[in-house]
Amino acid sequence: MLYLHGGGHVAGSAFGYRPLAGALADKAGTGVVVPDYRLASGHPFPASVEDAVRAYRWMLGRGATRATVAGDSSGCGLVLSLLLSLRQQGLPMPGAAVLFCPWVDLTAIGRSRPPHELDDFRRASAGLYLAGHPADDPLVNPLSVDLTGLPPMLIQAATGDPLLDEARELAGHAQDCGVNARFELFPVDTHDFHIFWSFLPEAAQALAQAGRFARDTALAAQAG
C-alpha cells in the first residue's frame, strides 16, 4: 500500500501519519509506504505529484504491481493526480484506490455549502499549492477529466463533513466514467474523521471496511 497523507498540500508528514497508515495497512493485511513528499509553499505543484510517482515507481521495482493507493483529504487529490499521471505515462495502474474524505477540486471552495471555517484554510493552501498554475488543469482537478481506466476505488465520507458534496460528486463522476467506485457514508460530524480511529467507533469501522476492500480487490486481481 502507498499512503499519501493529507494536510492541504502545505502540512503533514510521513511520521505524523504512521499511526493511521499503519492501522489501515493492518486491516488490509499488507505493508505500507508513506512518502514524505514535498510541500508547498516551498515546493508547489507538480513537486508532490512527481514525488508520488517516484514512490510508486520504487514500489513497482520491488514487485508491488497491484498495490492499493490510499489518502485522506488533500491526499486524495494527490492520489488522483498520481493515477492520472500514471495513465498519461503508460505505467501500470495500482489495484485499487482508497479515498478518505476527499478534497479533490481546488476550484470549488465554498460552492456547495454555507461558508465554513475550513474554507479559509483551503483557499490559502490551494493558492500556495498552485502558485499561479491553473486550477482547472485535469491533473489537479479530476472532476474535469475523463477517469476511464482508473482502478476500483472506495470513497468514504462523513455526514457532517463540509466536503461531503464533493465526495459524492467524485463518486458519481467516476461511476459515469465506468470506474468501479463505491461510496460509503458514516454518521460523523467532522472532516477527516479517520484520524480518530483509535477511539471513534465509526472511524474504526471505516478503516475495517477500507482494509477489507483493499484485500478483496487484491484477491480479485490475482484471480483474474
CA dist 90 and 70 (Å) reads 20
CA dist 83 and 90 (Å) reads 10
Which position among 5, 43, 191, 194 bears the catalytic label?
Answer: 191
Cis peptide before 115 (omega within 30 of 0): no
Is 194 labeled as catalytic in the residue annotation? no
Which position among 9, 43, 51, 73 bears the catalytic label?
Answer: 73
Is 161 labeled as catalytic in the residue annotation? yes
Is 173 labeled as catalytic in the residue annotation? no
CA dist 110 and 135 (Å) reads 15
CA dist 96 and 121 (Å) reads 29
Which position among 72, 105, 161, 192 bears the catalytic label?
Answer: 161
User: Which ranges of 41-163 does DSSP label H, i.e. alpha helix?
Assistant: 47-61, 74-89, 117-130
Residues marked active site are found at 73, 161, 191
